[in-house]
Structure 1
Amino acid sequence: MSKIFVLTLMLLPCIFNTSFAQFSLNRSKGELVYGSPEEVGIDGKVLNHEIARIMTQAIDSMAFPGGQILLAKGGVIFYQGSFGFHTYDSLNRVEDTDLYDLASVTKVTASTLALMKLYEDGLFDIDQTFGYYFPKIAKGAKKDLTMREILAHQAGLRAWIPYWSESQRKNGKWRWNTVKTDSSKRYPDRLEGTNLFLHRKFRERKIYRMIRKSKVSDDKKYVYSGLFFYLVPELVERLSGEPFDQYLNNHFYQPMGAATLGFKPTDEFQLNRIVPTENDTFFRQTQLQGVVHDEGAAMMLGVSGNAGLFSNATDLAKVYQMLLNDGKYGNKQYLRPKTIEEFTKVQFPENDNRRGLGFDKPLLEYNARISSVARGATPGSFGHTGYTGTLVWADPDQDLLFVFLSNRVYPTRNNGKIYDLNVRPNIHNLIYELLRIGKGTYSLGTHW
């Protein structure tokens, strides 16, 4: 069932005084607080009815077993709802505190966030070359690609590499110096969710080598590529002196109180709080729960720049509310407004490329068939989708935040009903429409 939270609800995982004075204090500090739809000019009855209708249809159609939704405006969470179950066995109902695999939302909530901080600290130059930062990997045509081009998916890099399958021979056996079924000094790291063990230099010898050998297109147009994001953890550690996950925890997640946001969730949370993703029948041969869904990130031992983050909707929202607050959350300034502006603006509009630096943006010309967000999302808005069925979208012009978490890849990634039913853009469109018309004039028969 959907739940509308009132001022007396406490923001997890922190416990707040429920007095109005405390509410006002948190709001004045730029932290997320709970309120009502009416407080932001939306009819709560209509909002509840329509979101429940969209989510019920999606779950009944088996687009996904369940999901979480969070909506905030002006820092006020005016709607938060959890729907359905972890899986179709209907044993574990989805709760607001449950964690989802964020998939490629990691690219902006981890990699891009870290690079933004390093950029404004003078340690990372978006106009420096790939060859400068990775001289052993960026050879030939890759050498002169700029970070700006790469982060805007404008550099001509290959879209992706199936590292796990390219580490196997045609007969299915693993290539030399890749994977073994027994651990040893040379194969110390267990591939999560399996009884396989990776070579201690798998990342350098295989993943980095495949990236180095991959071809670069001469046609510099928008092609979404995850290749560079596998390299970000090493780059962040080299530039900052801190491991990638620790850097993010120290500079962002922990100070914000985003306790569920992070990598390798089973280190901190019970398995029954983590929503499963896929029944993997071709690689790890198990139901994936508490381990990253993305195969490449799994072979990075769960800490990667392209995927690997887990979170609940509340903690993920804190990062994007910080970005909506010009870099401030609570009493801390995390990023400068100019840094956020630089990374979230369209970089190459003249080349029909909508992307910012890391961040996705609305289509330059709206197309309801392929857009993941609302028609009303303004040109200044930004966010990202995730392959597992996740989305986060922030609109500074409307001071509006939309978080959607699901496991649409359960039981199989071949399920595309979340797209066929336009679940995420329909909810997003609903919010813009309700904000536009205000209270009392919306027909419950109006569907998108």
Structure 2
Amino acid sequence: MLLLGVAMTIGVSVKGEISILTSIMIRQTEEMEMKRNEWNEIDGIMQQAVEKGVIPGGVVLVARNGMIAKVRAYGWAARYRDARKTPLTQAVQATTNTVYDVASLTKLFTATAVMRLVEQGRISLDDPVGRYLSDFTSEGKESITVRYLLSHTSGLPANLPLFQNSGLPEKRMRVAMGTKPVATPGTLYIYSDIGYMVLGELVHRVSGKYLDQFMQEKILLPLSMSSTGFRPPDTWKARIAPTEEQIVPSRGLVWGEVHDENAWALGGVAGHAGLFSTVGDLARFGQMFLNEGSLGGVRVLHPSSVREMFRLQTSTIPHVNRGLGWELHQPGYMGEHTDGKRAGHTGFTGTSIVLDREDGWMLILLTNRVHPTREGPAIAIVRKRLANAVEKTIQ
């Protein structure tokens, strides 16, 4: 078992053998060694997903009480050159160091950034957003609070084709800021990318730093997440898993740039999508939340902020279970016996994270299931089977 220590970066060779790439604390017990074979069900689920074309490949990590019980890569990180599935001259195998576009998992980081500003007293969750953003005060948005944006109850629409608007990213952000609500704030759940774009802009204007800079200084650096960020540098290209060949907008095979069209139109940095990361880095982020806001002696959030993010914010809206940033109690990808102590999130590119705060375990799945096209088999059943396998083995 590998303990999530201060500087965790681990890799898996093509033979599945764990190699230590940087300093990491290691703890093994005979009991854990005996239980190693109990995790083999995960291998079967992932190998089947690759064989059936649900994903080209991916990485799974399971940890409990700060120790990694399972981490392994499967299949391919890069396999095709276009949507017709023309093979690359040389396919690239997935490893645990592969960098994936995590899509909407970005929202968890944006929510964390907002909570940092709340703790500093620079934002209040129940203030109207217009108090901080003067251009977010018309078109029925006067009663939209920061809490409503974080819990997807602002009434803003799910999305807009911002990539179809000409001009600079700043102009496109103004279009997002001017969006009219389609429901009375606080009365309806609408999963809104637009709402999280606004939150990213909120972080920018209140802190005086662009969202990527603020996250780097307040979240990524403190957690030693050195393989996570927006707009990855060219030096990462060999490690990045490509996504799809995009026709509209015409971008070709998207590789090294954000997959989400609107995040791309906003310059690659947005509150709703745009982050790239590895399974090891995301494990550090998840463990910070399981530790109520700290990791390796570094505090990112106060425990009360973590508890508020995990608290049900949508009790007045039937059958909706949202915290602040986090989704709650979803058997479809968190395990069939979720007992109200699980939180998680999914990403369109084929990513997900699940935290069980009662039993202290974490499940992370990173894939590029949209490679080379989003028109493949659904990944939902893979997420569900993995969570059920973890749940069964943990118990």
Same fold (TM over 0.5): yes
2:296 is equivalent to residue 330 of structure 1: yes
Larger Rg: 1
Match of 2:189 among 222, 230, 241: 222
Structure 2 partner of 1:100: 100
Counterpart code for 2:188: K
2:392 is equivalent to residue 433 of structure 1: yes
> In the TM superposition, what is the alpha-carbon distance from 1:35 to its structure 2 partner?
5.1
Counterpart code for 1:308: G
Structure 2 partner of 1:266: 233
Q: 1:66-119 CA deviation, whole Å, 9 max, x = no partner?
A: 0011110000011100000123347211111110000000000x2111011111
Partner SS state of residue 387, structure 2: helix
Structure 1 partner of 2:279: 313
Partner SS state of residue 366, structure 2: strand
Alignment of 1:183-194 (within 5 A): none
> In the TM superposition, what is the alpha-carbon distance from 1:209 to its structure 2 partner?
2.3
Number of residue equivalences: 371
Structure 2 partner of 1:127: 126
Query: How much identity, in percent, do the aligned residues show?
Result: 30
CA contact 1:62–1:417 (8 Å) conserved in 2 = no
**C-alpha distance in structure 1 between counterparts of 2:192 and 2:148, whole Å:** 11
Structure 1 partner of 2:9: none
Structure 2 partner of 1:47: 39
> In the TM superposition, what is the alpha-carbon distance from 1:159 to its structure 2 partner?
0.8
Alignment of 1:397-408 (within 5 A): 397-408=358-369
Partner SS state of residue 262, structure 2: helix
**C-alpha distance in structure 2 between counterparts of 1:58 and 1:209, whole Å:** 39
CA distance 1:38–1:124, shift in 2 (3 Å): farther
CA distance 1:83–1:263, shift in 2 (3 Å): same
Alignment of 1:109-128 (within 5 A): 110-128=109-127
Match of 1:412 among 367, 370, 373: 373
Q: Please report the TM-score for the alignment, with normalisation by the length of structure 2.
A: 0.88
**C-alpha distance in structure 1 between counterparts of 2:306 and 2:229, whole Å:** 22
> In the TM superposition, what is the alpha-carbon distance from 1:381 to its structure 2 partner?
1.8
Q: Show structure 1 runs of 4+ deviating over 6 A.
A: none
2:317 is equivalent to residue 351 of structure 1: yes
Alignment of 1:43-442 (within 5 A): 43-48=35-40, 50-88=41-79, 89=87, 91-108=91-108, 110-165=109-164, 167=165, 178=166, 199=167, 202-218=168-184, 220-267=187-234, 269-352=235-318, 353-363=320-330, 366=331, 371-419=332-380, 422-436=381-395
5+ unaligned residues in a row in structure 1: which ranges? 17-22, 24-32, 168-177, 179-198, 437-448
Partner SS state of residue 91, structure 1: strand
Partner SS state of residue 345, structure 2: strand
> In the TM superposition, what is the alpha-carbon distance from 1:231 to its structure 2 partner?
2.4
> In the TM superposition, what is the alpha-carbon distance from 1:155 to its structure 2 partner?
2.1
CA distance 1:129–1:399, shift in 2 (3 Å): same
**C-alpha distance in structure 2 between counterparts of 1:132 and 1:318, whole Å:** 34
**C-alpha distance in structure 2 between counterparts of 1:86 and 1:150, whole Å:** 34
> In the TM superposition, what is the alpha-carbon distance from 1:247 to its structure 2 partner?
1.5
> In the TM superposition, what is the alpha-carbon distance from 1:43 to its structure 2 partner?
2.7
Counterpart code for 1:150: L
Q: 1:362-385 CA deviation, whole Å, 9 max, x = no partner?
A: 23xx5xxxx222113331221210
Q: 1:324-371 CA deviation, whole Å, 9 max, x = no partner?
A: 1111111211111110000111112231220001111123xx5xxxx2
**C-alpha distance in structure 1 between counterparts of 2:333 and 2:377, whole Å:** 13
CA contact 2:172–2:266 (8 Å) conserved in 1 = no
Q: Please report the TM-score for the alignment, with normalisation by the length of structure 1.
A: 0.78
CA distance 1:274–1:38, shift in 2 (3 Å): farther
**C-alpha distance in structure 2 between counterparts of 1:131 and 1:238, whole Å:** 12
5+ unaligned residues in a row in structure 2: which ranges? 1-13, 80-86
CA contact 1:99–1:274 (8 Å) conserved in 2 = yes
CA distance 1:51–1:146, shift in 2 (3 Å): same
**C-alpha distance in structure 1 between counterparts of 2:170 and 2:370, whole Å:** 30
CA distance 1:122–1:58, shift in 2 (3 Å): same
CA contact 1:35–1:77 (8 Å) conserved in 2 = no
> In the TM superposition, what is the alpha-carbon distance from 1:212 to its structure 2 partner?
1.1
**C-alpha distance in structure 1 between counterparts of 2:15 and 2:390, whole Å:** 16
Partner SS state of residue 222, structure 2: helix
